[in-house]
Amino acid sequence: MCQKFWALTMLMGIIKKPSIRSYWSSSPICSTPIYPQSMSRRRYENILRFMHFSDNSLCPPREHPQFDRLYKIRPLITHFAARFAEAYTPGRNICVDESLMKYKGRLGFKQYIPSKRSRYGVKVYKLCDSESGYTQAFRVYEGKDSSLDPPGCPEHMGTSGKIVWDLLFPLMNKGYHLYVDNFYTSVPLFKLLYCFDTAACGTVRKNRVGFPAQLVRTRLKRGETSALRQEELLAVKYRDKKDVYLLSTIHTERSVEVSVRGRAERIRKKVCIKDYNRHMGGVDLADQLLQPYQIMRKSRAWYKKVAIYLMQIATHNAFLLCKKANPGVTLSFLQFQLQVISGLLYQDAPAPRAVMGDRVGATHFIYKIPPTEGKQKPQKSCRVCFKRGQRRDTIFYCPECPGQPGLCLGDCFKLYHTVRDL
């Protein structure tokens, strides 16, 4: 039953409707028969209502030193973090950035990021493969007052440095190239990562401790570049529409010719700038693919939204693994999701054939409800009697109508197929 629940929830990201109730509508204009065929609306809403991932009675009180703001969803976070890490080995180039899961309800660690599409929501730090967008590791933001003490990280590292260390720790000493934006980049962090055989490149704020003031004072015309090197650390200033500053322990001062979009001319640009633009978009790549399939309802509790969001990340990761295992197969993310949904709904039986959209005037036949493993003589509530305010069970049903309603033999079956308002 849980598999069907998740399948129907995933399908809500593909088929958009204004409310959960509307997915069970019997209107011939907007009906989606797969929902009533798979599960009753009451059953679906009850599963959603009572869905929990932790025992709330065991949650430490807020004043307790072991209080966890993510306690309600912690087992699911731990499970997915372990599965993501063991299922895939990323390429040499990886990136760290944040995503924003849309949420406008009351929440102590809700974030406002005007540059993001959603603007309000739960922030999730991600480490992704730059080429594919596979989410290798993630961390849900818990608020600025939350303690972050990853193993082996020096005490003097700031919050942004500790986030990078926490996400990157399992991949250290393996020769990876990390790309980050100016929120994470700092001279102490890059030097520390270099000691653990992990080179890094990223834009940097000009007032960061250790960034050369001489480079900041240098005046450049558009398209010009200036660079300084100190041992393994390269500092670069590039003038585009505005000044851009970079730090890198990956690159030399080498430049290459690149074409300019919309212009016939070619200009020279530092390799570090070219590589940064190429490899920094792994997190955005994943977000762009998931964005059309967001499953969001105003009424859902925050931890349920996080659970659904993590399920979608897992689905995207599974899609990338499927493509890697089958390089000759052309498969879109939409096609993959539909295959997963079909597999969850019909794993024990073949998918049913298409049913007619309107029962009125249709040539349908009445059948006995087939036996199940739990019941040899199952019954259903008669749909027509229920509409009349009567409770009457029947062993007959119409398998051709949406929802396969129970119907009493005789008048009820006839009325249901001739009167539209029943």
Closest CA to 325 of 88, 93, 82, 86: 88
Contact 406, 390 (CB under 8 A): no
**pLDDT at 239 (0 to 100):** 85
pLDDT for the residue numbered 264? 63
CB crowding 110-129: b at 16 or more within 10 Å, else e: bbeeeebebebbbbbbbbbb
A 10 A CB-CB count for 377 gives 9
Helix (H, G, I), strand (E, B) or coil at 363: coil
Amino acid 151: pLDDT: 82
User: Residue 304: which H helix or E strand, with range?
Assistant: helix 302-325
Q: How far apart are CA 220 and CA 49, in angstroms?
A: 60
Q: What angle do CA 198, 174, 229 make, to 5 degrees?
A: 25
Judged by DSSP in three states, 405 sits in coil
SS (H, E, C) 54-81: CCHHHCCCCCCCCCCCCHHHHHHHHHHH
Please report, in angstroms and rounded to a whole number, the separation of the first and last CA atoms in the chain: 28
Burial letters 155-183, b for 16+ CB under 10 A, else e? eebeebbbbbbbbbeebbeeebbbbbbbb
224/260 Cα distance (integer angstroms): 14
- Please name which of 237, 208, 203 lies closest in space to residue 220, comparing C-alpha atoms: 237
Prediction pTM value: 0.79
Q: What is the pLDDT of residue 299?
A: 57
pLDDT in tens, the chain (422 residues): 688 999 999 999 999 998 899 999 988 888 898 999 888 999 999 999 999 999 988 888 888 888 888 999 999 999 999 999 999 999 999 999 999 988 887 887 888 878 777 788 889 999 999 999 999 999 999 887 667 778 888 888 888 999 999 999 999 999 999 999 999 999 999 999 999 999 999 999 988 988 888 888 888 888 788 889 988 999 999 888 888 999 999 988 887 777 766 666 677 778 898 899 999 989 999 989 998 998 866 656 889 999 999 999 999 999 999 999 988 888 899 999 999 999 999 876 555 554 444 554 556 788 888 888 788 889 999 988 888 888 889 999 888 887 788 999 888 888 888 775 55
Distance CA 7, CA 360 (A): 30
**Radius of gyration of the chain from its Cα atoms, rounded to whole angstroms:** 28
Distance between CA atoms of residues 362 and 334, nearest Å: 33
Q: So what's the pLDDT on residue 121? A: 86
Across the strands, what pairs with 227? Answer: 236
Cα pseudo-dihedral 116, 119, 125, 126, rounded to 10: -40
Type of residue at 128: C
How far apart are alpha carbons 19 and 264 in whole angstroms?
51
DSSP symbol at 21: G
Q: What is the pLDDT of residue 420?
A: 59
Token pair 């704020």: residue: 205
Task: Name the residue ranges covered by the structural domains of the chain.
Answer: 1-87+295-351, 88-293, 367-416
pLDDT value, residue 334:
93
